Structure 1
Amino acid sequence: MECNVKHLGTGVVVVSLDGRLNMASAATLRQTIASLVQEGASRFAVDLSRITFMDSSGLGALISGLKTARQAGGDLRIAAPTEQVQLVLQLTNMERVLTPYDSPETAFTSA
């Protein structure tokens, strides 16, 4: 899985993921969020538009990132989830915790 980071001028950090968010790649997302928080970031928009598959480990990494961001006084929001990701969120009732937004750029504008 590829993980790209882009800082928006609004204080929001976009973390774009590409590939499979599963047991093998979940640690990458956790480490990325943790190191960005250490650098002072606390508001994250995770772009899931290019995730082809997500399992419970991937969901756990998102929840872990959410917890890390909130402990730093910020938030983590997901953007543009694929159908497969939406299905995982619905089956686990996690779409209430990780509300999907249309795009990373709009994830924090409605707050």
Structure 2
Amino acid sequence: MRANIVRHESMTVSYTVVNGWTVVELDGDVDAHTAPMIREAVIKLIDDGHHHFVLDLGFVPFMDSMGLGVIVAITKRIRQHDGSLRVASASGRTLRIFDLSGLRESYEICPSTEEATRTAPSFGSLAHWPHVAD
């Protein structure tokens, strides 16, 4: 069952748990305006005991560098809890932001949430993240 954790005129953040993964679905632009809402929502989930995440970007029409920054920030928080993070359903436009930043290789990017949740998560999968200097 999907639960909304942020409902705002420009962003909806909801989640469900599938095969040990907390699938966080973002619906709206991921930018300077919405990044703080997303960060707070994921931190609340972490505080509630969720540590293995799939970030579903399938309903994200636009993401800027602040959006990528919030993904990096939540990745660091997830890593502190020996968690895991996969990115799913990102559009070509969104993947371009990962490419331009040099972070695409630092993330496990899956074509769909089904693919991302097919195998159960493992603890500490972010132990060597990022592949570039921290």
Q: Aligned partners of 1:104 and 1:70: how far apart in 2?
A: 20
Identity over the aligned pairs, expressed in percent? Answer: 30
Measured in 2, the distance between the counterparts of 1:77 and 1:31 equals: 19
From the superposition, tell whether residues 2 and 74 of structure 1 become closer, same or farther in structure 2 (CA, over 3 Å). Answer: same
Letter of the 1:75 counterpart: S
CA distance in 1, matches of 2:113, 2:84: 13
1:19/1:51 contact within 8 Å kept: yes
Tell me the SS of whatever aligns to 2:95: helix
Contact 2:85 2:108 in 1 (8 A): no
Larger Rg: 2
Structure 2 residue 77 is the aligned partner of structure 1 residue 61 = no
Give the aligned residue type for 1:73.
D
Flag structure 2 segments of 5+ consecutive residues without an equivalent.
Answer: 1-10, 122-134
More helix by share: 1
Among 41, 44, 47, the alignment partner of 2:53 is 44
Residue correspondence of structure 1 range 1-111 to structure 2 within 5 A: 1-8=11-18, 10-108=19-117, 109=119
Provide the aligned length of Structure 1 versus Structure 2: 110
Normalising by the residue count of structure 1, what TM-score does the alignment of the two structures yield?
0.92
